[in-house]
Amino acid sequence: MKKKKRALITGITGQDGSYVAELLVRKGYEVFGLVRRSSNDPFVRLKELIRERKITILYGDMRDSGAIRRALERAEPDEIYNLAAQSDVGISFMCPEEAGEINYHGLGRLVHAVLDGRLRSKIYQASTSEMFGSAKPPQNENTPFQPVSPYGVAKLRAHEDYVVGYRKKYPDLFICSGILFNHESPRRGQHFVTRKISISLAKIKLGLQDYVELGNLNARRDWGYAGDFVEAMWLMLQREKPADYVIATGQVHTVRDFVNETAKALDMHIAWSGSGTREVGKTEAGKVIVRVNKKFFRPVEVDHLLGDSGKARRELGWKPRVSFEDLAAMMAKADLEAVASENK
């Protein structure tokens, strides 16, 4: 009988971790997840797979080299998906050391554990379009990086030192990265703008909230669906030789567009008036349901991210399936159902 492939996922409790775990279970992998101790229940999304023993949970923090080494010894992975991160860009301005510690040194600890253990595991690193920062769009693998946030800087250091640098230094090490543009889903953390919008508009629709306060409505992002993007991670690890790929939809929208599309999916139509911090979004009945609050502006903003994923399309045969409109509708519907059932 063919031996089952084994994978270790760091960050398995996050949005992408849960989708990768499900993808690999579907593909017949033996899946291990590194999870840090939490006072809350971190397993909401994975309960069924854990109960059915399709995932094995190993405890460990990306700050703890010994725990990472023990997880590798137990999992003996063919593939490692390094998704663990302090992934909130806004918060990284307040907690820059944490961004460096987890997003940069965390990868260093993992890579050294693989090298020290003489393991043949292939490593996927979650790099990000935030590394492009203020670089002119569209951005691809040849665009010079210009990060502006502590999060972007930490991810870029990890990318340059341990992905690109170690690939040269250790020719036997298989390490690749996906430079992923924003990807969302009903499982997105509630502080990210798309999910904040979908959950708030669902509550407004149900009369449980009056309005939502947002920051920069003009920020432009290339938003795709997380379920599509994790397929690209897996495809990268199936290659003979490691390389880095931009993963993006190639379509750009503003935060305001995301509000409009979500509202449309909920049969709420928004009319905008005013400008800057005085801009508001009103319902047809004239009720203000979107306001701007300076509190949600970043010290330095990334204005415009738009990815060119031509290389991934050509070499991996990857392309996104879910459109911007369908993504917003999917998130709106999921939140409407969840909020309604919580408030029955």
Residues interacting with ligand G4F, by CB under 6 A?
A: 87, 89-90, 128-130, 181-182, 191-193, 196, 214-216, 219, 221, 255, 296, 298, 301-302, 305
How many Å apart are CA 278 and CA 291, to the nearest integer?
8
How many Å apart are CA 76 and CA 302, to the nearest integer?
39
Interacting residues with ligand NAP (CB under 6 A): 10-11, 13-17, 36, 38, 42, 61-63, 83-87, 102, 126, 128, 180, 182-183, 189
Does 41 show up as a binding residue in the annotation? no
Measured from each CB, the residue nearest to ligand NAP is: 14
Compare residues 59 and 170 and give the one whose CB is closer to ligand NAP. Answer: 59
Cα 302 to chain centroid distance, Å, stands at 16
Catalytic residue, from 22, 30, 79, 130: name it.
130
Q: How far is the CB of 40 from ligand NAP (least distance, A)?
A: 9
Compare residues 87 and 121 and give the one whose CB is closer to ligand G4F. Answer: 87
Partner touching 275 among ligand NAP, ligand G4F, none, CB below 5 to 8 Å by kind = none
**106 CB-contact burial (10 Å; exposed 0-12 / middle 13-18 / buried 19+):** buried
Partner touching 61 among ligand NAP, ligand G4F, none, CB below 5 to 8 Å by kind = ligand NAP
Catalytic residue flag (residue 151): yes
Does 89 show up as a binding residue in the annotation? yes
CA 304 to each of CA 27, 180, 287, 315, 317: distance values in angstroms, whole numbers, following the listed order: 36, 14, 30, 26, 26
Is omega for the bond preceding 138 within 30 degrees of 0, making it cis? yes
Catalytic residue flag (residue 13): no
Compare residues 120 and 191 and give the one whose CB is closer to ligand G4F. Answer: 191
Q: Extract the tokens encoding 155.
A: 């991810």
Compare residues 72 and 201 and give the one whose CB is closer to ligand G4F. Answer: 201
Partner touching 233 among ligand NAP, ligand G4F, none, CB below 5 to 8 Å by kind = none
Catalytic residue flag (residue 130): yes
Task: Confirm if 7 and 77 have CB atoms less than 8 A apart.
Answer: yes
The DSSP result for 156-189, as a single string, is HHHIIIIIIIHHHH-TT--EEEEEEPPEE-TTS-
Q: How far is the CB of 210 from ligand G4F (least distance, A)?
A: 16
Q: What phi-psi label fits residue 51: left (phi over 0), alpha (psi between -120 and 50 degrees) or beta?
A: alpha
Q: Extract the tokens encoding 85.
A: 């991160």
Q: Which residues are annotated as a binding site for NADP(+)?
A: 88-89
Q: Which residues are catalytic?
A: 128, 130, 151
